[in-house]
Amino acid sequence: MKQTVLTVQTNEPIAKNVMKITLSGDLSAIVRPGQFVNLKLDGFYLRRPISVCDAEGDLLTLIYKVVGEGTRAMAGYGKGKKIDCLVGLGNGYDEKDAGDRPLLVGGGVGVPPLYLLAKRLTAAGKRVTAILGFNTKDEVFFENEFRALGCDVRVTTVDGSCGTRGFVTDALHGLDPTCLYTCGPEPMLRALYRATTCPGQFSFERRMGCGFGACMGCTCKTITGNKRICREGPVLKREEILWEN
């Protein structure tokens, strides 16, 4: 983890209530796909944790959904705005487990952390399939970006307005992945856990206080004891997940 100041370069809408912001600065602490940053927004006490979408050189790309006062304020940040940021948080995905045919599955704002992973896996010659799940066509984003990397992309929407009608599990037909990487709401993760048998890495979403393990506010149970989603997570391996009722 490292505390630094990042500078906004762009901040623009890319789908319904979804924004893409790029920031420049010291990103040396970001070493794995699936890690996150914690932003200090003016006038708000708690920082906002956001998954890393891409990190190239000194340019960081984040995608966030406008859902409350904090993200609404952030949507108004323009070029040159300085943001205090904790970078390199969380454990991220382990690319060594990918095998030849990794499957990446993201739901909504669970899609962005899979982009940097797809970028690295395709560069390593892996045959990547990406399933991107949304509620409706207006919310779809980054389909073309994943295709540009060389991924086989399948889009699902609950209402059938784009791609396959239904949930991400409805797009699993014909696939025999060597490893599953996924991020999204817990009901989606649970459904994928039940629908697949290959090795997997699941990134969990939790409300966070500090973002680096001090407050113990995002603790979850695993088969090896309690773990902090912000510190030992957000990525847990299939074999250590203990689903809570």
Do 28 and 51 lie in one domain? The reply is: yes
Rg (CA), the chain: 17
As a whole number of angstroms, the distance between CA 89 and CA 78 comes to: 25
Judge if pTM exceeds 0.85.
yes
pLDDT one-digit tens code per residue, 169-187? 999 999 999 999 999 999 9
The answer to whether residues 136 and 158 touch, using CB atoms and an 8 Å cutoff, is yes
| CATH number of the domain bearing residue 30 | 2.40.30.10
The answer to whether residues 29 and 212 touch, using CB atoms and an 8 Å cutoff, is no
| CATH number of the domain bearing residue 101 | 3.40.50.80
The answer to whether residues 106 and 183 touch, using CB atoms and an 8 Å cutoff, is yes
Which of 209, 239, 108 has its CA nearest to residue 229?
A: 209
pLDDT of 211 reads: 67
User: Which of these three, 89, 121, 137, is where a domain ends?
Assistant: 89
As a whole number of angstroms, the distance between CA 79 and CA 71 comes to: 16
pLDDT one-digit tens code per residue, 60-99? 999 999 999 999 999 999 999 999 999 999 999 999 999 9
The answer to whether residues 35 and 88 touch, using CB atoms and an 8 Å cutoff, is yes
pLDDT of 207 reads: 67
User: Which of these three, 63, 89, 115, is where a domain ends?
Assistant: 89
User: Which of these three, 57, 89, 121, is where a domain ends?
Assistant: 89
Determine how many CB atoms are found less than 10 A away from the CB of residue 113: 30
